[in-house]
Each structure stands twice: as structure tokens, then as C-alpha cells.
Amino acid sequence: MAIVYETLKNRKFEEIVHTYTERDTMLYALGAGVGYDPMDEKALNYVYEENLSALPTMATVLAYPGFWLKEPDTGVDWTKVLHADQEIILHKPLPPAGTLKATTKVDEVIDKGEGKGVFIYSSRTVTTEDGEPLCTLIQNTMVRGQGGFGGCTDRPPASQVIPDTAPDISCELPTLLQAALIYRLSGDYNPLHADPAVARKGGFDRPILHGLCTFGVAGHALLKTCCDYDVNTFRSMKARFSAPVYPGETIRTDIWKLDKGVAFRCTVVERDLVVIDNGFADVG
């Protein structure tokens, strides 16, 4: 199995049409931990049909093209794939229900050299049925050890630098022991997040939380602390995944105010382990 730069760079994707309901929107928010405090009326707007809003990070599951890097035409050894970075750009608040269309493309394939890693940058543009831009999702996927095929040798974009000072705001949010089992119902059925036997084969003591679920918890923290739960002031968010979370752990999001937007980092409190780093959000 080998990557062919031109083939992967110019890969064609079918347009995805995705219809979702208010129930899907509430289920996504529950999977990301919203509603842990049943008396928080502002948070209730994301898990209750009265005045329902969609959590901004739900963009990651809309019109999802699936695990396309597993397809033989990519030349990628899918067992060596890691989700490295994720960015969402919201052109308008997500509707709580509707039918959307999306197209995906490979933006660049960066070759780090023989025996080293490969960075695959892809983007997904999501629109309404009428073609109005709704959100853009940019993903960086790392493939371990498949470099040396002659791809682009540009340096990956620089990550957001986290200030070397105490955070301006910190927000601790719990995750449920069954969080991964709930979150997977939004479309990612990888057994690594449900089956203990599969998790053990992957080197984990038990099933781990989806990286994009952790991303959703971080987005919830930003929405709560920086936007007072107002989706109209949440414009973009990006971050790097650095370690997995076990369902039931507490995620602390530390936030630093910048001249424009905020930097953030997420740590699992119980293990004092950074799980999301180099975060930036245009919020507030």
C-alpha cells in the first residue's frame, strides 16, 4: 500500500445530502455533555425543544463523508491514521433541523520524508439546500510512517501559541460514563468507543471518548463562558488533539483572552493530562 500524491490530492468526493431533526440536535448536545445541570436554563435551550438552538460544534457531524481514508484508492494505511487538528468556521448559526448539502476536497498532502508522517488537509463546505454557505470544516489527519512518496514538502501551518501565563477563565465540565455510547449515535460508530475488547486491542484500558466529542465539550465550555450561550457570538474554533479522554472524566478548559478571540487548552482533571492543545476561538 502506497500513497500516490496526485491521486490523493485530486480525489473526487460525492456530494452528501443530510437531513436531520430537532431530536438529532438534542442528541448531539447530550452526547457532548450539555444538560448535566438540569437547572441551567440557558443550557436547556440546546437539549429541550422549546427555543431549541444547535450547539456550534455540531457542525462536525453534519453531512459527514465517513471514514473515506479507509478506501483502497487513497493508498493510506488506515490503521496508522490519527485525527490531528480540527477547525470549524460558522458563516451563520446552525439551524436546529433541516436538509443540508456538503462537498469535501483534499487541500494538500504534506510529506515529512521517508519513514516519517504524512499530513492530509481536507475541507468540507456545508450549505443549505438552496446553496447558502453555512459552515466550513477543515481537518488535518496524520498518517504515521507513510512518508517518502514525493508529496508536498511545505511545513504544516503554525499552531496557536498558548500564553505562558495563568488563564483568564477556567471551566470544568463533567462527562458521563456513558458519554461515548451517547455520542456515537450522532454518526461515529467506531467500536473503539464502545467495545472493551476493541479498546484493549488498541492499547486502552477501556473504550475512549471520541476526539470530536472532547472537541464538543470544549466548544460547550467556550459557549458557556465566553458567549453566555449565545450562538450568534460563536464564529470559529480550532484545536489540536493531544491525548484521549475516558468517559466519566472531568475536562477543564483553560481560556486566555487575546486582542481578538481567545486561546484555550483542555486538561483531564483526574490525570492532569492535556487532551486538547493549541486552541483558538473567535467568540464573544
> Which of 283, 268, 126 has the alpha carbon at shortest distance from 219?
283
- The residue range of the domain holding 135 is 5-143
Number of compact structural domains in the chain: 2
104 by DSSP, 3-state: which? strand
Residue 152 lies in a domain: no
Q: Using one digit for the tens of pLDDT, what is the confidence trace for 35-44?
A: 999 899 999 9
pLDDT digits (tens, 9 = 90+) for 38-95: 899 999 999 999 999 999 999 999 999 989 999 999 999 988 989 999 999 999 999 9
223's grid cell: 459557549
Question: Are residues 182 and 53 part of one domain?
Answer: no
In a domain, 88, yes or no: yes
Confidence label for 157 from pLDDT (cuts 50, 70 and 90):
confident
Q: Is residue 159 part of a domain?
A: no
In a domain, 149, yes or no: no
Known catalytic residues?
A: 188, 193
Strand-pairing partners, residue 121, are 108, 140
Q: Is residue 150 in some structural domain?
A: no
Is residue 164 one of the residues assigned to a domain?
no
Burial class (CB in 10 A: 0-12, 13-18, 19+), 166: exposed
CA dist 43 and 30 (Å) reads: 11
CATH for 11: 3.10.129.10
Other beta carbons less than 10 A from residue 133's beta carbon: 13
Reported in sequence order, the residue ranges of 56-210 that DSSP labels E, i.e. its strands, are: 81-90, 98-111, 118-128, 133-143, 169-174
User: Cell for 261?
Assistant: 478571540
